[in-house]
Structure 1
Amino acid sequence: MTDATQPTPPTAEQIAGIIDHTLLKPEATRADVAALVAEAVELGTFSVCVSPSMLPLDLPAGSDLKVAVVCGFPSGKHTSAVKAAEAAESVAAGADEIDMVIDVGAALEGRIDDVRADIAAVRAAVPAPTVLKVIIESAALDDDTIVAVCRASADAGADFVKTSTGFHPAGGASEHAVRLMARTVAPDLGVKASGGVRSIEDARTMVAAGATRLGVSGSRALLAGASGGGAGY
């Protein structure tokens, strides 16, 4: 018997609708990105997420596919002025959303005011309706710092906080971090779980923890897993 008190897990279609279908490999070519866009349209993902140098994208006529672009990626060690310029250039070239990386070292040192100012600089360069997501590298931070950075992101006008670049050796998204981030910022900000979300089970776990967007590179395999097709990068 099904427990009526338990929410129904999201379907593959619902999961697809919150995926940023991602290609950020340094060796990615324009042909790879064109294939990414075609696959995103076929799978029904929310967006594609690419590097700034790949803009502008050739989207199918009538498509509502969004374009997300990373900023200060992957180290976050760029100056605020450089991040702001990069974000503004990306929006001018067609980006709908910006995923910026914080200076993780500043957060670890407790320089939360500097982190807030960094985010605010990018926000000023790309005001609404551009969506601003803040990548905090949650696996590299303790819980108190995660909370502090999430609050700084909200104060600076961000729309989302995001777990990870997927490139940091400390790791990617965890259920614990997503739950903590959601508890800190919801319902005012969204939470994007990114890094290591490889299966439909991973995706549903992150959604249950509070994720409202997912960063996935292996979207086809992940979504196939909903019908027993397996999953992974």
Structure 2
Amino acid sequence: MSGGARVERVMLDPTCTREDADALVTHAVDHGDVAVCVPPTLFPLRHAPETLRLVTVAGYPSGKHHPLVKASEAHMAVVNGAHEVHVVLDPAYVAAGDVNAMISEIVTLREAVPSPAVLRVAPGEYGVDPDDERLRAFCRAAVTAGADMVSAGSQHEAGVMLDAVQGTPVTVASPVDLPGVARVTVPR
């Protein structure tokens, strides 16, 4: 994936149903979108063409779930057709810069989400604002533990992450345009 735009339709409302997911798939196909993202409980997705990338989340939105629960959630989705899993790491590990705890969590997830499925990790949600050194520690953990992608929430985060993963196979994904960063467009 390069710096070009891709549209990924996202429906993570806790009340969404299987019928809502089917409608999202139809809408995505009709509009030429490349991916849909729905909760892991809605897999397998019915009527999804092979050309549509199927994405889910684990540990979403807070990241405050036991790593084995996240891994189980992610694994069941992959077994049922998910191509990519976005995981929110425990924000306490990120805030503390605890590389060993982050590596342990990501290794557990990597085992549950074997290649070619993509494992994408995020440093946290809801007010977690790690400084540059903690972002670099997060990226080191992601590289060491075998994640495929890291998610950035801002241009600043994307820049720090891009620098931290330079020369590794890990990709940075961000909602902002930056050279060398995969842009993920999420329509509202």
TM-score, normalisation: structure 2: 0.88
In structure 2, what is the Cα distance between the partners aligned to 1:111 and 1:44? 41
1:137–1:77 distance in 2 versus 1, CA, 3 Å: closer
Q: Specify the alignment match of 1:108 in structure 2.
A: 95
1:22 touches 1:215 (CA, 8 Å); kept in 2? no
Mapped contact 1:34–1:58 kept (Cα < 8 A): yes
Q: CA RMSD in A?
A: 1.9
- Is 1:212 aligned to 2:179, yes or no? no
Aligned to 2:86: 99
Paired AA for residue 178 in structure 2:
A
Instruction: Report if the CA contact (8 A) 1:179-1:209 is conserved.
Output: no
Query: In the alignment, is residue 144 of structure 1 matched against residue 133 of structure 2?
Result: yes
Amino acid at match of 2:149: F
Instruction: Decide which structure has the larger Cα Rg and report it.
Output: 1
Aligned residues of 1:68 and 1:97 also touching (Cα < 8 A): yes
Tell me the TM-score normalized by structure 1. 0.72
Match of 2:165 in 1: 185
What residue is the counterpart of 1:228 in the other structure? Answer: none
Q: Cα gap change, 1:144/1:131 in structure 2, threshold over 3 Å: closer, same or farther?
A: same
Matched, 1:89 2:76: yes
Match of 1:207, SS state, is coil
Tell me: higher relative CO, structure 1 or 2? Use CA pairs within 8 A at least 6 residues apart. Answer: 2
Identity between Structure 1 and Structure 2 (%):
36
Gap regions ≥5 residues in structure 1: 1-9, 164-172, 195-205, 219-232
Q: Secondary structure at the match of 1:81?
A: helix
1:22 matched to which residue of 2? 10
User: What is the deviation of 1:80?
Assistant: 1.5
Which of 129, 132, 155 is equivalent to 1:175?
155
Residue by residue over 1:72-129, the C-alpha shift from the partner in whole angstroms, topping out at 9 and shown as x without a partner, is 1111111121111111111111111111110111121232210111011010122111
